[in-house]
Amino acid sequence: MHEDFAARLAERVARTGPAVVGLDPRVDALPDAVAPGQPPAARILAFYRLALEVLADHVAAVKPNIAFFELFGSAGFAAYEATCELARQRGLLVIGDVKRGDIGATAEAYAEIHLRLADAVTLNPYLGTDSVAPFLARCRDAGGGVFVLVRTSNPSATELQDLAVGSETVCDAVARLVDRWGQELGDRAGYSPVGAVVGATRPQDLARLRRLLPRAWLLLPGVGAQGGRIEDTAAAFDAAGRGGLISQSRSIMQCFAPADPRWRDALAAAAAGFAEQARRAASNGTRR
Amino acid sequence: MHEDFAARLAERVARTGPAVVGLDPRVDALPDAVAPGQPPAARILAFYRLALEVLADHVAAVKPNIAFFELFGSAGFAAYEATCELARQRGLLVIGDVKRGDIGATAEAYAEIHLRLADAVTLNPYLGTDSVAPFLARCRDAGGGVFVLVRTSNPSATELQDLAVGSETVCDAVARLVDRWGQELGDRAGYSPVGAVVGATRPQDLARLRRLLPRAWLLLPGVGAQGGRIEDTAAAFDAAGRGGLISQSRSIMQCFAPADPRWRDALAAAAAGFAEQARRAASNGTRR
């Protein structure tokens, strides 16, 4: 019996707070001193080998975005695999930001590889339960987790996610599906391994989706570079200050100039500051 | 100036008809005689090296499903890259079945790699225009194409895609977005590079979506193993018998027993028969 993802996450967050750092590698933002002259995928991996050691002291999880690895083809995919493994060796939970969504044997294949590489993955709900079921089976049997896109942080999220369906919206209907999937997995610890992605750029949505998703960890991207404010995420946390994960990427991982020889100190300071802000936002959730 | 994807597709379909073969590699279904004892990704690529030569005589395009390649990690990703290249060398168009959907720099990264490897890709619309825009830019500037999921062929497609939005459904609203994206790309040849995926398992939807999407090539999976019938796809074609692509995977690529030494003959016969059925379904479109 593998340990439940929600329980592992709760344990880690109790120690570090709810900060998650997105890994969106950009070659032109890597420290100049890291593996100079090497191919992009090798430089990316060399950077994370050092950076994950720093991050592990401060944050709960990392969220590598596979697109920026796939960009470098099979060498990039290998760097994604190695990055996930390094992070887990450091005690960080890994949320693979893969946003996959497909059906049948295809969904099985995605679930098999991506929940082997990462502790949890992001999923797209457009195809419904069929596309999520193989992942749910692995949540139950192998301790994996999922975060289903419910309300994303980008401007055009309105086009589909905010369409009115009766008295609610498409994203509310998706939230109800996500809650059902979480219920079906049992719910020993209050939270289930079935989480949701809810953009932090629209604080007015957070309280409503928190109510619709009482069992779901809410993964909150969109703070920092995308314009959301950490302090506005309080509504995503429960009355005990739990159930939310605040994610930032560029503002942490690109907090230094590439030429800065002391980039590790800068990264440590940025990660520590972000972690502290995230803990404060969570504790503000208790004051509602 | 690259040639428009819709024009390249029309030219190819005029020669072969509208059959597309999905490549969903399953190691246990490969011919025993192909690269025995090699690692999975090497066997898959060795198989396609032979099979694509056969398929190129019969069908318009292949649709490799990247999940079955990713399953084998970076070696699988390399096999995907090589399979795409082999297919294009044989004159086949390649529709990368990647179903990606993300925003901002992430969408840019996916567009850059996946429209470099394939002529066109499948996309998920849940995040709206932001997630499609970088692909549309490459359709316009580099001759790529996209097929956006509108109504998928799986049972739980109803959960989200068939929700009522006013007098229509979510998938109808997505169809209107897809049509708008196609209009914005200009429309020199009648069809645009912005196509749609419409499952063939629900013939009643095809005529309606054909009307909502007058400029879109409709990619029709779900015939064969998933239960749709080729003859029921006629409504997806225009009055001139154009604008549809019928996709089959397992019933063609697994038409032989692994032990059969004459698997190439079986594959050629299956592909030729499918191509003939597809041409007939398209020409039935003209009799409405």
Residues in chain A with CB shorter than 8 Å from the CB of B159 are 128-129, 177
B204-262 residue pLDDT tens: 889 999 999 999 999 999 887 777 899 889 999 999 999 999 999 999 999 999 999 99
CA distances from B114 to A16, B17, B95 (A): 37, 25, 10
User: Per the CB < 8 Å rule, is A113 touching B156?
Assistant: no
Percent of chain A with pLDDT over 90: 89
- Kindly state the average pLDDT of the residues A55-76: 98
Q: B42 in contact with A at a CB cutoff of 8 Å? A: no
Helical axes A129-142 vs A170-184, angle rounded to 10°: 30
pLDDT at B188: 60
Nearest CA in chain B to A102: B99
Instruction: Identify the band that residue A97 occupies on the pLDDT scale cut at 50, 70 and 90.
Output: very high
User: Per the CB < 8 Å rule, is B101 touching A104?
Assistant: no
User: Per the CB < 8 Å rule, is B130 touching A154?
Assistant: yes
Position of tokens 């593998």?
A2
pTM of whole model > 0.95? yes
pLDDT at A200: 87
Q: What is the CA radius of gyration of chain A?
A: 18
Instruction: Identify the band that residue B200 occupies on the pLDDT scale cut at 50, 70 and 90.
Output: confident
Distance of alpha carbon A20 from the chain centroid: 7
Residue B107 has phi, psi (to 5 degrees) of -65, -35
Minimal C-alpha gap between A169 and chain B (Å):
9
Nearest CA in chain B to A158: B128
- Single out the catalytic residue among B49, B88, B99, B140: B99
Residues in chain B with CB shorter than 8 Å from the CB of A106 are 24, 65, 67-68
pLDDT at A21: 98
Structure tokens at B205: 């939807």
Q: How far apart are the first and last CA of chain A?
A: 38
User: Per the CB < 8 Å rule, is B104 touching A154?
Assistant: yes
Question: Strand A93-100 relative to strand A120-123: parallel, antiparallel, unpaired?
Answer: parallel
Q: Model ipTM?
A: 0.96
User: Per the CB < 8 Å rule, is A156 touching B129?
Assistant: yes
Distance CA A257, CA A262 (A): 10
A190-205 residue pLDDT tens: 899 999 999 988 788 8
Minimal C-alpha gap between B33 and chain A (Å):
25
Asked whether the predicted pLDDT for residue B103 surpasses 80, the reply is yes
pLDDT at A117: 98
Distance CA A45, CA A81 (A): 10
Instruction: Identify the band that residue A287 occupies on the pLDDT scale cut at 50, 70 and 90.
Output: low
Position of tokens 């800065």?
A260
Q: A169 in contact with B at a CB cutoff of 8 Å? A: no
Residues in chain A with CB shorter than 8 Å from the CB of B24 are 105-106
Catalytic residue list contains B63: no
- Single out the catalytic residue among A49, A99, A208, A279: A99
A227-286 residue pLDDT tens: 789 988 999 999 999 999 999 999 999 999 999 999 999 999 999 999 999 999 999 866
Q: B29 in contact with A at a CB cutoff of 8 Å? A: no
Q: In 10 A of CB A259, how many CB atoms?
A: 9
Instruction: Identify the band that residue A187 occupies on the pLDDT scale cut at 50, 70 and 90.
Output: low
Asked whether the predicted pLDDT for residue A48 surpasses 70, the reply is yes
Residues in chain B with CB shorter than 8 Å from the CB of A158 are 128
Instruction: Identify the band that residue B80 occupies on the pLDDT scale cut at 50, 70 and 90.
Output: very high
Residues in chain A with CB shorter than 8 Å from the CB of B157 are 127-128, 130
Percent of chain B with pLDDT over 90: 89
Distance CA A51, CA A54 (A): 5
pLDDT at B189: 58
User: For B106, which of A67, A77, A114 is closest by C-beta distance?
Assistant: A67
- Kindly state the average pLDDT of the residues A160-189: 91
Distance CA B239, CA B262 (A): 40
Instruction: Identify the band that residue B29 occupies on the pLDDT scale cut at 50, 70 and 90.
Output: very high
A218 vs A184, higher pLDDT: A218
